[in-house]
Chain A
Amino acid sequence: MNLIIIVLSGVLIVFAVLILLVVLKLRNLQEERDNAELKLKERTFQLQEEQARFHASVTNLPLGYLMTTVGGTIFTLNDTFKKIFGIEHSIVTVGEIDKLYPPLNLTNHLRICIEDNKKIIVESGFGQKYLHIFISPITLEEQKIIGAVMLFEDITDSVVLERSKDEFFSIASHELRTPLTAIRGNTALLKQYYSDKFNDQNFSEMVGDIHDSSVHLIQIVNDFLSVSRLEQGRIKFDMAKIDLVREIFKVVEGLKNEAAAKSIYLKFDNNNPVWVMADKVKLKEVLINLIGNSIKFTEKGGVSINIEINNDFQKVKVAVSDTGIGIAEEQRSLLFRKFQQAGQNTITRDATRGTGLGLYISKLLVEGMGGEIRLENSEAGKGSTFSFTLKDVKV
């Protein structure tokens, strides 16, 4: 009997313990579930937050925004996009936009972006509109592309502004040059055909000064126009294989009278052709500027031109050295800037009758031909050496 009681109570105890364990486990599970639910809520809230942030960013973007699948099905687009494209109804694919504005060809740009898996920037437009289009792939880990983001910037206003600026310069330069030509021409005719009537020396000097000033003004107008066009990248470089030596000889020939008038030498010895890639007209302008400058700033000694061929870098260097006034240390950094003339402050600058644009134009021209221009060395009172490089061409 006792044994039965013992066994029974033992079983009961085991049961009680089991029940307790179950209850505890259940409670644990409940807690875990509660925790999970809380986490889920938190996560959902975070997602909502993220979505709200994303939505606000996209909606308020001053750029047209469009997100698409790899195949060109549109996920999201913003109001700016609709405004740029003048679209009121809903659109489903990128192809539909192409149908409305065929020159855009977005489908093709999207394809290129996905195939190359890299960001592309396209300048395009339709009708009177000009656009910058940025297309960027959306990649999941391990290069898997799931779509693309397109941004559209309406640049119509700036393009129109740029254009009118260039037109203004072209028209202004033409309109300025015509009356200046009349002044230059008439004063030249006075000097050439009426000098016997100039009994007064002051009178003849005045006519001469008017003539020289008009020539100077024409040069300024030309320089302004060149700078404006070069800065806007509107000057085309016709690169061709040309003989550098021949071009230098031509310029030296043209400037030799100027050097002779100051009784200084102008030296260039080179017999064999040196072939370079350059735009003939622009190269001539750079040479005239550098050699002309050297002559202008040299009173004793002279100017020599040397060619250095660097086979390692496939470059040819032209160095123009003079024994002129040199350039002071503190002026050197300003040399190739707009409107700068070394050693000239604003009050005395017109003494040399330059525009202060020569070296700046030369720099833009040399860089446009893929070279570099610099001041090699200079010493006040002893002279300067300027150099520029061009691309070498193997014959």
Chain B
Amino acid sequence: MAKILIVEDDPLILRLYQKAFSFEGYEVETAANGEEGLEKVRTIIPTIVLLDVMMPKMNGLQVLEKLKAYPETHNIPVIVLTNLAGQNDSERALAMGAVKYIVKSEHDPKQVVDMVREILAGYTRSEVPQAVNLTKS
């Protein structure tokens, strides 16, 4: 089963998604800030990363930049999960190589799980796209 890493500083939201993914049978790992998140991606090598934007120590976009810069992590798909509804943020995250941008308050957790499932299904059918192409757009 796919291994999900959730990087989120708000404990309630973290627990919420942890439950939602566990209920659907996913293996879930968590990190409470950007630094810890980056560290865990490197040690765990998850199937997919759910990344919050506003976080202490290192924000989500900085984590994303680092993940895309290293060859051992740049193929791991990253979904940016946030509550900042600005359209510019979503464009920025996608330009930096995120596969999807989800506004947390707009969806029930099950819908987020379904989106992740859809993305993972797409990735297993065809190879993971080269993130390099995405970052340079």
Contacts and interface: CB of A to CB of B under 8 A. Distances in A.
A236 B88 CA distance: 10
A292 B19 CA distance: 33
Contacts of B83: 174, 177-178, 181
Contact of B105 (A180, A189, A193, A281): A180
Given A192-B110, A225-B85, A177 B105 contact: yes
Contacts of B88: 236
Interface in A166-214: 173-174, 177-182, 184-186, 188-189, 192-193
Given A179-B12, A189-B16, A189-B20, 11 more contacts: A173-B85, A177-B83, A180-B105, A181-B16, A181-B105, A184-B105, A184-B108, A186-B16, A192-B108, A225-B85, A281-B87
A222 interface: yes
Interface string B68-92: 0000000000000001110110000
B23 interface: yes
Interface residues of B, number: 20
A179 B16 CA distance: 11
20 contacts: A174-B83, A177-B104, A178-B10, A178-B83, A178-B104, A181-B83, A182-B10, A182-B13, A184-B105, A184-B108, A185-B20, A185-B104, A185-B108, A189-B16, A189-B19, A189-B23, A189-B109, A189-B110, A192-B110, A222-B105
Contacts of A193: 23
Contacts of B87: 281
Interface string A207-239: 000000000001000100100000000001000
A48 B50 CA distance: 78
B94 interface: no
A182 B12 contact: yes
Interface in B87-137: 87-88, 104-106, 108-110
Contacts of A184: 105, 108
A346 to B, nearest CB: 27
Nearest to B103: A177
B54 interface: yes
B107 to A, nearest CB: 9
